[in-house]
Homo-oligomer: A and B are copies of this chain.
Amino acid sequence: MAFEHLRHKPPRTLARPRGLLVVCAPLRSNVNLSRIVRAASCCGLDRIVCTGQAKLDRKIARDGADAIAVEVHRTLSPVLQRLREEGYRLVGLEQTTESQSLHAYEFRRRTALVIGNERTGLTPDLLRLLDDVVEIPVWGLPYSYNVATAAAMALYEYCRQFPDG
């Protein structure tokens, strides 16, 4: 078959807005945050919730920095409680004692995917608020994915389950 490279193919359209929202604990690295913003924007999300010094690197986030609304909050607990009241299922992305494999996890359409800090992960006070925690199987060293890599995989899995929004 003759494959011809196409740069920036026309995107897919969503039948309705994405039900997925990404919520980030304070991250160490604005590079990681910016990578998550680009991936989330490519996946058609229209907003992302961040905490801490959430400063985007526009060379990394690209047009995602403008296309997606970045909400910055000081602390996450009240945000998560409000999201629950708005009908979001609160799903952490973390290796924990009771995590479910992302391979088998069935997302609810209206989901807030909660992403932890690179080193400390999700703190106990946030874990306590979550409905589910998912983790991505690991087979080799260093036995944990980079936070933006893990977020990309989770975004991919959600979009696979809800290709039309």
Contacts and interface: CB of A to CB of B under 8 A. Distances in A.
A87 interface: no
B143 A98 contact: no
Contacts of A5: 94-96, 116, 120-124, 127
Given A137-B12, A137-B159, A127 B4 contact: yes
Contacts of A64: 140-142
A3 B139 contact: no
Interface residues of A, number: 70
Q: Most B CB atoms within 10 A — which of A63, A66, A97? A: A97
A95 B145 contact: no
Given A9-B135, A149-B148, A160-B103, A42 B3 contact: no
User: Top 4 A-B pairs ranked by shortest CB distance?
Assistant: A44-B139, A63-B141, A67-B141, A62-B142
A77 to B, nearest CB: 15
Interface string A1-13: 1111111111111
Interface string A118-150: 001111100110100101111111111110110
Contact of A127 (B3, B11, B98, B136): B3
